[in-house]
Each structure stands twice: as structure tokens, then as C-alpha cells.
């Protein structure tokens, strides 16, 4: 059994065993500060936070801190085989989970009660501080290509907002956009927004099986 806890500006999990992935569906708008260790990547979009471990030896504990309104609707935790693990959600808010009186007996305003899910202040757009996956390397020649069709073999990084792969372990002024190739037609295809064209999320990053 894993315990997922959130509230008052922090979010994390506790429990035995390694976790391959965490999917969080939420309501609100938050500024997220990734607190996961090396070997773990976080993606945010469409009311969902997806946390993926790229190594089987990484143990997750603190996930992130946040500023803004954050209300969790559901959590899925899975192991490396894609099996869903038991999880219990714990809210740490100022008011909502502690109220036992009838609504007509309440002396606190509803907007003040709702503030129990808001840390520091409201935000108008959900943001993530770590927007690039760095220090990646091609497994073999032919996975990625330069614009002229030359096979690229070496270090690269990925921009999370649009899935664009670029040369270099970290983003620099001289980084070049990288491409994939259609195996049937041989056509060079931009990695940018590839997840939209293929109707999948975030290429190049290994995922486990399951709902997330």
C-alpha cells in the first residue's frame, strides 16, 4: 500500500518498493517545482501530471512543491510491469477534510474554505520548472537524424512542451533540431509535436503499460 499525500504546497508518496510511474488527475492551476531525483521525468498537461521513472533503481518520495490551487481527483501508481498498485490519498488542507457540521451551521465563507486547497496564491496558467529532458544519448545510429537526412548518433535533449529533440546533452545556442524517419517512405519527419501527429504522449521516453 502506498500513501499519496498532498496539500499546503507539497506532494509526495510513501510506501515500499520502487515505482515506475505516477498519474495524477487534478483540478486547479499551479506553478510546479519538480522535486523528483535524477532518472525521473515529469510531464504536465490537460489536468494531468505524469511522472515516469527512467530507471528501475529510483525510489520516489517527494514529488513536487507547488503554488496555486491544487485539488487531486485521482491517483494511479504502477510498477515496472504496468501493474497498478494500491494507493490511499491523504489531503492536508486547512478546512475541507475536517468539516463535520451541516452547511447551514457553518460560519466560514465557502470561498475561504476553498482556500484550503490553495497554497500562497492563485495562478492563471499551470507551469513546470523543468521543461527539458537533458543528458540523453542515442541507443543506435538511425534513431534520429539531422535535417539533411544524415543519421545522428550522440547526446541529445528533448523539450517537453513540444517533444522536440535537439542535439547536445543540454540546450545551447548551437543545438540543432533532430528528426525521425518514416520506415516505409524514408521521409524525414520533425520530432517537434510528434506526439500530436501520432496521437500518443511524449515520444522517446520509455513508458510502462497501463492507464497512464
What is the model's pLDDT at position 43? Answer: 92
What is the spatial distance between Cα 172 and Cα 209, in angstroms, rounded to a whole number?
34
**Domains of the chain, earliest start first:** 2-128 (2.60.40), 132-197 (no CATH)
**Distance from the first to the final alpha carbon of the chain:** 19
What is the spatial distance between Cα 147 and Cα 181, in angstroms, rounded to a whole number?
11
Encode the chain (212 residues) as per-residue pLDDT tens digits. Answer: 899 999 989 999 998 677 899 999 999 999 999 999 988 999 998 899 999 988 777 788 999 999 999 999 999 999 888 899 999 999 886 544 444 434 344 343 444 445 456 666 666 789 999 989 988 999 765 689 999 999 999 999 999 888 899 999 999 999 999 999 888 888 999 998 765 554 434 444 444 445 54
Contact assessment for residue 166 and residue 134, using Cβ atoms and an 8 Å cutoff = no
Q: Which cell numbers in the block locate residue 115?
A: 482556500
What is the spatial distance between Cα 63 and Cα 67, in angstroms, rounded to a whole number?
14
Instruction: Tell which residue, 190, 191, 189, has the closest CA to residue 204.
Output: 191
Amino acid at each position: 500500500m502506498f500513501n499519496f499525500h498532498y496539500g499546503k504546497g507539497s506532494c509526495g508518496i510513501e510506501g515500499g518498493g520502487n515505482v515506475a510511474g505516477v498519474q495524477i488527475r487534478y483540478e486547479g492551476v499551479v506553478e510546479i517545482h519538480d522535486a523528483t531525483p535524477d532518472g525521473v521525468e515529469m510531464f504536465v498537461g490537460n489536468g494531468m501530471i505524469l511522472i515516469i521513472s527512467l530507471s528501475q533503481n529510483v525510489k520516489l518520495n517527494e514529488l513536487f512543491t507547488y503554488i496555486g490551487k491544487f485539488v487531486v481527483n485521482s491517483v494511479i501508481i504502477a510498477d515496472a510491469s504496468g501493474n497498478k498498485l494500491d494507493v490511499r490519498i491523504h489531503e492536508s488542507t486547512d478546512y475541507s477534510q475536517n468539516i463535520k457540521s451541516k452547511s447551514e451551521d457553518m460560519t466560514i465563507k465557502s470561498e475561504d474554505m476553498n482556500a484550503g486547497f490553495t497554497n500562497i496564491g492563485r495562478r492563471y496558467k499551470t507551469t513546470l520548472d523543468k521543461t527539458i529532458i537533458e543528458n540523453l544519448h542515442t541507443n543506435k545510429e538511425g534513431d534520429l537524424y539531422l535535417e539533411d537526412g544524415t543519421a545522428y548518433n550522440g547526446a541529445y535533449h528533448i523539450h517537453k512542451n513540444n517533444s522536440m529533440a535537439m542535439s547536445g546533452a543540454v540546450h545551447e545556442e548551437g543545438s540543432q533540431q533532430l528528426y525521425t524517419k518514416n520506415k516505409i517512405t524514408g521521409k524525414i519527419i520533425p520530432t517537434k509535436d510528434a506526439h500530436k501527429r501520432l496521437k500518443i504522449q511524449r515520444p522517446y521516453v520509455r513508458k510502462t503499460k497501463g492507464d497512464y
